[in-house]
C-alpha cells in the first residue's frame, strides 16, 4: 500500500462526502431490527450494514467492543466485515481506542494495522493518555503500511474534562495531543495533503476547542467528529466548532442512520442522504 491514508481519505471524502458511518451492533439496535441478540443476529446486522454502506460512504467505523462481546465468533464476524469492505474499496476505521506502552502497543499495532493481519483496517482509534509518545509503535507502523491513526483529543463525555482540559506549562492535554498530531503530519502538509494522523474531537464539545486555544487550521489533520445526529451534534455546531477547518472534518453518526434498517435500500439511502447534507453544509 503506497498511497498514504490521508490522501486516500481525502479522495473518499471528495467522492462520497465527509461522513463516517458507524457500525455499532449493540443489543438495542440489533433487537430493534427484529433480530435475536446472538452471534447469528450480529452477523446478519453487520453484513446488512456492509451491503448498504460499501460504495456509499467515505468511511465505515465498526465498534470493536460490540463484536468482542461474542468472543471468538464475534471476532470472526468483524474480520469478515473488514475484509468485505476492503474488497469493496470502502475505507474502514476500526474503533478500538487502544492505548499502552512498548511491546504491548506494538502488538496492538500489528493486530490492527499489520499488512497480513486478518483484523487489519485502514485506520484505528487510539488513546494517548499514557502520553502521546506511547503511541509511537502504532504511529510508525501506520506510516510504514500506509494506514491511519485517529487519536483521542477532546471528547464530549463529562469525565474527559478532568484529563483533557488539564494544563501543564500553559498548554492543555488536548492541545498537546493536537500538537503531536500536527508534528507527525508535517510531511503530508509539505506535500499539500491531508495527514494520516487524525484527531477525535466530539461534535458536541462546543466552545472547548476555542477556549483551550487549539489551532485546528494549522494542523493539516483529519478530524473525526463523533456524536453527529442522534447524540446531539448538528451541522450548525460543526460549523461553529470547526470554523476554518471544515475541510478536515469527517462527521460520524451511528444510531440515526442505523435506525433506517434492516432494509438495505433504506439504510443505504439514509447514509447517502446524511453524507450529502454534510457535503452541502460543510463545504458550501
The residues carrying an active-site annotation are 97
- d(CA 30, CA 46) in angstroms, rounded, equals 9
Give the span between the Cα atoms of 126 and 153, in whole angstroms.
Answer: 10
CA distance 254 to 189: 30
Strand pairing report for 59-62 and 91-98: parallel
CA-based nearest residue to 238, from 8, 18, 22: 18
Q: d(Cα 243, Cα 207) in Å, to the nearest integer? A: 11
- Secondary structure class of 134 (helix, strand, coil): helix
- The sign of the torsion formed by the CA atoms of 189, 62, 87, 105 equals positive
Nearest to 151 by CA among 79, 98, 91, 80: 98
Contact indicator for 106, 68 with CB cutoff of 8 Å? no
- In the structure grid, which three cell numbers stand for residue 229, read together? 445526529
In the numeric block, which cell numbers belong to residue 194?
Answer: 491531508
What pairs with residue 168 in β-bridges? 171
Rounded distance between C-alpha atoms, residue 107 and residue 197, angstroms? 19
Amino acid at each position: 500500500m503506497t498511497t498514504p491514508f490521508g490522501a486516500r481519505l481525502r479522495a473518499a471524502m471528495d467522492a462520497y462526502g465527509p461522513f463516517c458511518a458507524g457500525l455499532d451492533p449493540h443489543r438495542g439496535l440489533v433487537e430493534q431490527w427484529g433480530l435475536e441478540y446472538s452471534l447469528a443476529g450480529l452477523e446478519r446486522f453487520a453484513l446488512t450494514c456492509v451491503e448498504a454502506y460499501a460504495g456509499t460512504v467515505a468511511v465505515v467505523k465498526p465498534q470493536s467492543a460490540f463484536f468482542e462481546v461474542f468472543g471468538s465468533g464475534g471476532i470472526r464476524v468483524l474480520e469478515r466485515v473488514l475484509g468485505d469492505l476492503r474488497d469493496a474499496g470502502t475505507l474502514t476505521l476500526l474503533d478500538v481506542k487502544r492505548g499502552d506502552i512498548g511491546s504491548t502497543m506494538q502488538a496492538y499495532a500489528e493486530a490492527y494495522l499489520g499488512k497480513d493481519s486478518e483484523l487489519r483496517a485502514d485506520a484505528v482509534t487510539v488513546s494517548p493518555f499514557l502520553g502521546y509518545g506511547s503511541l509511537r509503535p502504532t504511529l510508525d507502523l501506520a506510516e510504514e503500511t500506509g494506514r491511519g491513526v485517529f487519536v483521542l483529543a477532546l471528547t464530549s463525555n463529562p469525565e474527559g474534562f478532568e484529563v483533557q482540559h488539564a494544563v501543564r506549562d500553559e498548554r492543555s492535554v488536548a492541545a498537546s495531543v493536537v500538537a503531536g498530531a500536527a508534528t507527525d503530519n508535517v510531511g503530508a502538509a509539505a506535500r499539500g495533503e491531508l495527514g494520516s494522523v487524525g484527531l477525535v474531537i466530539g461534535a458536541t464539545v462546543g466552545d472547548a476547542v476555542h477556549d483551550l486555544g487549539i489551532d485546528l487550521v494549522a494542523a493539516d489533520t483529519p478530524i473525526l467528529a463523533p456524536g453527529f445526529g442522534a447524540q446531539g451534534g448538528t451541522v450548525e455546531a460543526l460549523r461553529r466548532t470547526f470554523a476554518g477547518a471544515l475541510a478536515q472534518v469527517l462527521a460520524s453518526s451511528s444510531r440515526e442512520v442505523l435506525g433506517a434498517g434492516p432494509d438495505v435500500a433504506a439504510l443505504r439511502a439514509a447514509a447517502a442522504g446524511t453524507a450529502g447534507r454534510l457535503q452541502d453544509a460543510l463545504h458550501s
